[in-house]
Amino acid sequence: MSELLYVFILIIPAIYAALYKSLFTVPNKKMNIFFFRLYFLMPFCLFIGFLFSTFAMFFAWEFMPDLSDYFFEIFPGSGSRILGALINLPIMLILTQIMIIPNKKQTKDDLNNCDYYVFMPQYKSPAAKNYGTKYSYKKNRNPDELLIGMQIGELSFPVLLTDGKEIIFTVHGEVIVSDYAFQTFGEGGLTGFYKKTMRKECLLMTEPDENEGIISDLAGIFKEKDKTVKKEQKPQLEMKYYQLLSNNILELTDPKTELTLRKKIVNKSLLPKSNVIYYNKQTMEKARDFNRSREFVGSEDGYPYGPHQLWILSKKTCILLKDRFDYSEADFIPIVLTDDENETQTKIQEENQT
């Protein structure tokens, strides 16, 4: 019984962290439930907790012998370990708070204070190439270059897999939006975006409710208000989705971004060294509400995301996504603006020469 108590004390920080589904997530959205999050966190917590509690146990023997003897009497054979686990518990909870559970207020303030953000949702849909989307790849590619595919033709993606979401973000940065979402962007006065049709066989088909005799706006597609429909007809209505694109490509990021090429066993990745994106202030003067980075950033194995031109969104856009489409602050990475124009221009010239 005392052994179970010892293990339970060690996993309390994992239980605490697993409660926060919006701040610690597992890769698959459907698996993002408490028990799966606990499953992913428990091994790490047990390992670190065992190490820390062992040191705490020796500490108790040396500096708190009376307390150590008291626990040994209550839990014969395991008293010292349980005491060590109890001493370790507040330390682990503090580390969990710092490392896994960021300060909500600070994150919310960042969303209000920064002008631009990288749009990087925690949940990403599978790559569109898995569903028939065609890509072209550069021939005679340099061994140090990422494998980057340029889309050919219309995007192919089974909208049936989206569970009715208005915005879908794939692991390779393709963004799919419903007609309602696209209209919302336009009504919000946002700039820098346009839509492209998708392959028809990938559109979601649905039927109106038998008890409803009037077609109203369905995702902004049908405008035939107050038109009666006979129940026996039951026509199928098409829920339209489009690929969202941006016609505003920003100049290169500031050199402080430090994009680092890492070679894995099979794949390569090009990711920001500290997960921080820097842009020069003068570069961002040409930014609109929807922008794409000039660089392709990501990892060929798709983790944490595949190579794509980053989506750079204005604060106005991020607030709209958060308020109207249930995105959280954790889905936006603040962009740091710099004043050093010379370094940025040097980087652009070097890029043009290559």
**Residue range 62-98, pLDDT digits in tens:** 787 777 777 767 766 666 777 777 877 887 777 766 6
Q: How many domains does the chain have?
A: 2
110 in the same domain as 96: no
Of 11-15, 116-120, 350-354, the range with the lowest mean pLDDT is 350-354
The pLDDT of 5-26, averaged and rounded, is 70
Query: Which of 101, 127, 153 represents a domain boundary (last residue)?
Result: 101
Rounded average pLDDT over 219-243: 49
179 and 321, same domain (yes or no): yes
Per-residue model confidence (pLDDT) at position 91: 77
Q: Are residues 158 and 89 in the same domain?
A: no
Low-confidence winner among 9-13, 31-35, 197-201 (lowest mean pLDDT): 31-35
Share of the chain above pLDDT 90, in %: 22
Within a domain: residue 79? yes
Please give the pLDDT value at position 273.
Answer: 75
- 343 and 254 in contact (C-beta within 8 Å)? yes
pLDDT at position 215 is 32
* pLDDT value of position 229: 39
Tell which of 86, 101, 116 closes a domain.
Answer: 101
- Residues 138-148: what's their mean pLDDT? 81
The pLDDT of residue 207: 37
What is the model's pTM? 0.60
**CA torsion, points 58, 59, 62, 63, in degrees to nearest 10?**
-160
Residue 144 has pLDDT above 80, yes or no: no
Quick one: which H or E segment has residue 344? helix 341-353
Range of the domain at 21: 2-101
Task: Please report whether residue 88 resides in a domain.
Answer: yes
97 shares its domain with 110: no
Give one DSSP letter per residue of 307-330, joined into a string. Answer: SEEEEEEEHHHHHHHHHHH---GG
Residue 208 pLDDT class (50, 70, 90 cuts): very low
Over range 170-189, report the average pLDDT.
93
Name the band, by pLDDT with cuts 50, 70 and 90, for residue 162: low
- pLDDT, average across residues 128-152: 85
Q: Is 90 exceeded by the pLDDT of residue 182? A: yes
When the pLDDT of each residue in the chain is averaged and rounded to a whole number, the result is 75
| Domain identity same for 132 and 279 | yes
Range with lowest mean pLDDT among 88-97, 176-185, 341-350: 341-350
Whether the predicted pLDDT of 101 surpasses 50: no
Give pairs for 147-153: CB < 8 Å, separation 24+. Answer: 147/268, 147/300, 147/307, 148/296, 148/307
Please check whether residue 347 lies inside any domain of the structure.
Answer: yes
Mean pLDDT within 105-109? 44
Tokens for 326?
């249930």
CA 43 – CA 55 distance, rounded (Å): 19
Same domain, 21 and 142: no
Residues 146 and 287 both lie in one domain? yes
How many whole angstroms separate alpha carbon 346 and alpha carbon 339? 14
In a shared domain, residues 86 and 140: no
| Residue 228 lies inside a defined structural domain of this protein | no
Please give the pLDDT value at position 10: 79
Strand stretches in 166-323, DSSP E = 167-169, 175-178, 193-197, 204-206, 237-239, 241-246, 259-263, 268-272, 277-280, 290-299, 308-314
Structural contact between residues 260 and 272, judged by C-beta atoms closer than 8 angstroms: yes
Distance, in Å, from the CA atom of 85 to the CA atom of 69, rounded to the nearest integer, reads: 15
The answer to whether the Cα torsion of 83, 85, 91, 93 is positive or negative is: negative
Both 7 and 151 in a single domain? Answer: no
Tokens of residue 155, six digits: 């995007």
**Residue 320 — very low, low, confident or very high, per pLDDT cuts 50/70/90?**
very high
Residues 159 and 170 sit within 8 Å (Cβ to Cβ): no
One domain for residues 138 and 265: yes
pLDDT at residue 283 is higher than 50: yes
* 68 and 16 share one domain: yes
* Domain end point (choices 79, 101, 123): 101
261 and 297: one domain?
yes
